[in-house]
Amino acid sequence: MTLSATEVEQLKHAPATEEILPVVRVRWSPRSFSDRAVSSADLRKVFEAARWAPSSFNEQPWRFILGLRNTDAYQKIGSALAPFNQQWALKAPVLILGAAKTHFSHDNKPNGFHIFDLGAASAFITLQAAELGISTHQMAGYDKDVAREALQIPDEFDLGSIMALGYQGEPSSLTNEQMLKQEISPRTRKPLSEIILSAWGEPAKLD
């Protein structure tokens, strides 16, 4: 017998060793989504959060194509997903494709941090969504060429992730054993000593 959505939600809370923002602890990436629609008001809130993300030269290079269920944009974004992701992501009521302008608007010089900035805006979306009780899951598994052609995205924009957004569903809706196992497993992260360095290969001392 698998766990319920409520039990999984509690299981996924990060066992953080330090005090951090509560929304960071509860944000995770489910694959089980319910049919419940996300209100326009809440969508505006998550995109307003993205609008205030930091970016190089305040370029704000990000663009987000919003696909709501039963719309042309949703179908086009979904058609680009890898079959593995289509199994679960097409149950989410919202699909979002992120893109980033590759050159600065003020001088047309290459912006080497455009994807970094898109990632920051996307992270703001995930946190604002989590604060509203809405789940997100970002995917790299899709065909960029298919997405670019279907959505007529100009060449001067690089593509980022596709994000599924909606409300967490019951894990039992996942028929793939690998997906189900990941869904009901606790979250893990590398220790700070492995990722915070004072020199390459040398952990920084934080005490």
Instruction: Indicate the domain borders of the chain.
Output: 5-203
**Interatomic CA distance for residues 110 and 106, integer angstroms:** 11
β-partners of residue 137 are 164
pTM recorded for the entire structure: 0.95
Q: Per-residue pLDDT for the chain (207 aa), expressed as one digit of tens each?
A: 578 999 999 988 988 778 899 999 999 999 999 999 999 999 999 999 999 999 999 999 999 999 999 999 999 999 999 999 999 999 999 999 999 999 999 999 999 999 999 999 999 999 999 999 999 999 999 999 999 999 999 999 999 999 999 999 999 999 999 999 999 999 999 999 999 999 999 999 998
CB 50 within 8 A of CB 161: no
Q: Token pair of 185, please?
A: 């497993």
CA 33 vs CA 5, 45, 134: distances in Å: 10, 20, 10
Q: Which amino acid is at 152?
A: Q
Q: Token pair of 128, please?
A: 């604002």
CB 188 within 8 A of CB 35: no
Q: Under CATH, which architecture does the 5-203 domain have?
A: 3-Layer(aba) Sandwich (3.40)
Nearest to 130 by CA among 20, 56, 54: 20
